[in-house]
Amino acid sequence: MIQPHGSTALNPRFVHDPARRAALAQEAQTLPSLLLNSAAAANAVMLGAGYFNPLTGYMNLADALSVAENLHTTSGLFWPVPIVNLTRETGIKPGTRLALRDPNVEGHPVLAVMDVQAVEPVSDAQLQTIVQQVFGTLDAQHPGVATFLSLGNTLLSGPIEVLNFSYFQSEFPDTFRTAVEIRNEIAARGWKKVVAFQTRNPMHRAHEELCRMAVERLKADGLVIHMLLGKLKEGDIPAPVRDACIRTMVEHYFPKNSVMITGYGFDMLYAGPREAVLHAVFRQNMGADYLIVGRDHAGVGNYYGPFDAQTIFDTKVPKGALQIQIFRADNTAFSKKLGRVVMMREAPDHTPEDFITLSGTKVRQMLGQGIAPPPEFSRPEVAKVLMDYYRSIGG
């Protein structure tokens, strides 16, 4: 199986030993505490689950700036996005042992214990440097930019020990999996070559066929559909509905035991190319050999070119920095001429009228009115799940 990024074995920050975890939880009640923001909490969950291997905690300012500007830490570890704990709290001292509390669970239970190595002020200019490099824009209308600039100007760095996986394990018990668990299941299934598909949306026919194409062309043994379970921007389909759509599609249209349906606990950054590289890093950590990177991967609005998330692997990722490879996908759509879903670039004799394409807005309007999209666009079983959802929220 492919090695994790930056080490020969995964180093998840979750405390697996029950006695040690109980002792930490008890100690945490005596420690000063910090209520995390959702971004820092999501980073803790990803560190705990082994997805951010080989990191042991939150980056300091020098590493955060180096990652933003050069895609590597000051020690030379390739990394595409700063993993930070920014806060508005003041008065925390270096050397403090800190209980990190979960903002997304009622009662704010302790999520992790942190050894604070450094407490550093971050200037507005430094925040803007990070934002410009990671998101490619300073536009406050960009949801990722708006979130990052709202987190605070104090950066806490140091290793953490994670006690739980926030709400992800309890709310998505059949879907949430750590990188460790996914690696173990890949091994148990005997898969030697694995393709990962990232999604924050329900999967329509085009997504389904794209996954099938990747598996067939790469001669892969299995597909891991890996869905984001954390916070999204307003208007995106909630995780339970996406989960139901994907399970329905796989149950009806994929061979048994050919697909793992899993999810991870992270908030969407909408950072386009940089987030695509982060996706590749943590898919390597979970044991995937290939990541499907499609048009406008992890994008939002018109901030990124349609294939920027693919070309960054050629222009910014040094040779050998990652073992995982990407499967480059174009827009896929149903061809009326051929009677099947194709990649548009592979049908040069087609005009736009030869494809069945619908905008997201149009699809949402149809679903809200109880109208199923054409079966060439969306499987009827999946469309029903979505129509039920839109009916429940009044369209």
226 and 281 belong to one structural domain: yes
Residue 359: pLDDT over 80: no
Last residue within a domain, chosen from 123, 142, 169 = 169
Amino acid at 233: K
Q: Are 84 and 278 in contact (CB under 8 A)?
A: no
162 and 144 belong to one structural domain: yes
Mean of the per-residue pLDDT values for the chain? 94
Q: What is the pLDDT of residue 369?
A: 86
Judge whether 165 lies within some domain: yes
Instruction: Pick the catalytic residue from 189, 200, 212, 328.
Output: 200
CA distance 381 to 391: 16
184 and 137 belong to one structural domain: no
Last residue within a domain, chosen from 169, 191, 221 = 169
303 and 182 belong to one structural domain: yes
Judge whether 1 lies within some domain: no
pLDDT tens figures, 76-107: 999 999 999 999 998 999 999 999 999 999 99
Residue 338: pLDDT over 90: yes
191-203 mean pLDDT: 93
Strand-pair partners of 228: 264
Among candidate residues 319, 320, 295, the one with its CA nearest the CA of residue 309: 295
58 and 141 belong to one structural domain: yes
Q: Determine the structural domain holding residue 80 and report its residue range.
A: 18-169
304 and 350 belong to one structural domain: yes
Judge whether 2 lies within some domain: no
Q: Catalytic site residue 328?
A: no
Q: Catalytic site residue 153?
A: no
198 and 347 belong to one structural domain: yes
Which range is least confidently modeled, 118-132, 216-230, 282-296, 326-340? 326-340
Judge whether 78 lies within some domain: yes
* CATH number of domain containing 100: 3.10.400.10
Q: What is the pLDDT of residue 364?
A: 78
| 322/352: higher pLDDT | 322
Among candidate residues 321, 260, 327, the one with its CA nearest the CA of residue 289: 327
Q: What is the pLDDT of residue 201?
A: 84
Taking the CA of residue 38 as centre, how many other CA atoms within 13 Å lie in the half-sphere pointing to its CB?
Answer: 17
27 and 165 belong to one structural domain: yes
Residues 6+ apart with CB under 8 A from 155: 58, 60, 61, 64, 84, 85, 86, 87, 118, 119, 120, 121, 122
165 and 212 belong to one structural domain: no
Phi, psi torsion values for 34, nearest 5 degrees: -130, 125
CA distance 266 to 198: 12
> What is the percent of the chain with per-residue pLDDT over 70, rounded to a whole number?
100
Based on its alpha-carbon atoms, the radius of gyration of the chain, rounded to whole angstroms, reads 21
Quick one: pLDDT band at residue 331, thresholds 50, 70, 90? confident
* CATH number of domain containing 336: 3.40.50.620
124 and 150 belong to one structural domain: yes
Place of tokens 């209980």: 99
Strand-pair partners of 264: 228
Q: What is the pLDDT of residue 395?
A: 56
Last residue within a domain, chosen from 138, 169, 200 = 169
Judge whether 9 lies within some domain: no
Among candidate residues 352, 75, 382, 338, the one with its CA nearest the CA of residue 241: 382
Across the beta sheet with 340-343, the strand order is 340-343, 332-335, 355-356
Residue 235: pLDDT over 80: no
Total domains in the chain come to: 2
193 and 274 belong to one structural domain: yes
Phi, psi torsion values for 93, nearest 5 degrees: -110, 145
Judge whether 6 lies within some domain: no
181 and 158 belong to one structural domain: no
The helix/strand/coil state of 245 is: helix
Instruction: Pick the catalytic residue from 11, 70, 153, 201.
Output: 201
pLDDT tens figures, 173-191: 999 999 999 999 999 999 9
Residue 23: pLDDT over 80: yes
Judge whether 348 lies within some domain: yes
pTM for the model: 0.94
Judge whether 13 lies within some domain: no
Among candidate residues 67, 62, 76, the one with its CA nearest the CA of residue 271: 67
